[in-house]
Every structure is written in C-alpha cells, then in structure tokens.
Amino acid sequence: MTLGQLALHVATIPGNLATMAQLSEFDASQANFEPPAPHDLTEIHVTFAQSLKTAEATLNFMSDESALANWQLTMRGRELFTKSRIAVLRSLLMNHWYHHRGQSSVYLRLLDVPVPVIYGRSADENPFA
C-alpha cells in the first residue's frame, strides 16, 4: 500500500469493522484487500470522521446479548474462527488498527517525518525541550 492508501484504510477501520460485526458471519473471501488511494488529505479526514460516527452508532445500539453472541469468520464456507462479537471487535478492530498504525510510523520514519506519540513519547521528541 502507498502511504495514502494506508491512511485511508486506517480511517475506515472503525466503521467498516463495526458494520461487519453486526453480521453473524463474514466470509473473508468477499473482502476487498486493495484499498483505494485518497484524492487528498481532506478525504482521509472526512472518511475518518464518518467512520467514527458509524462505529459509535453501531456500538451505542448493540445490546449486551448481541455483544456476547457468537460471530464467525469463514473463508469460502470453511470456519476460520468463532468468537463473541465483543471479542471480535476487540481483536479485529483494535489490533488491526494498531497494526496499521505501526506501519504508518514506519512510513513516517522513512520519509524523515517525526513520529508522533503512540504509547508515550517517540525517539523524535525531546522531553527536556
């Protein structure tokens, strides 16, 4: 992925995965693993804002019963795993986001752009400044 594709993908993760988690099953063979390139930075910002709204609305209306119900990931009819919907949201949504955020930090480093705070300060920050 280009940096733009990666940024747009990161922007869509909350909404896309929250929407996917509303299903009882998802076939991974139906996923599009070719993220589009954004036209500009504004598109990434707008997409991220909408993605967060979608995720928030989905989670606000999810009952405890629905959150604890099983969710299944399949590949062409073959079960890959079954977990509670809330465990899927925790693992797929959050870990997926962290993973791509880490990839973004590598891009920034390679482009000589200071890496922002992720978990505590980065090596690009002077704590005594």
pLDDT along the chain (129 residues), means of 10: 93 92 91 89 97 94 94 94 93 86 89 80 69
Phi, psi of 114 (to 5 degrees): -55, 135
Asked if 85 and 66 count as a contact pair (C-beta separation under 8 A), the reply is: yes
Which single residue is written with the structure tokens 């990434």? 44
Tell whether 122 is covered by a domain.
no
Computed over its alpha carbons, how large is the radius of gyration of the chain?
17
Tokens of 96: 């997926």
* Within-domain flag for 73: yes
Q: Please state the domain count of the chain.
A: 1
Q: pTM, whole model, 2 decimals?
A: 0.83
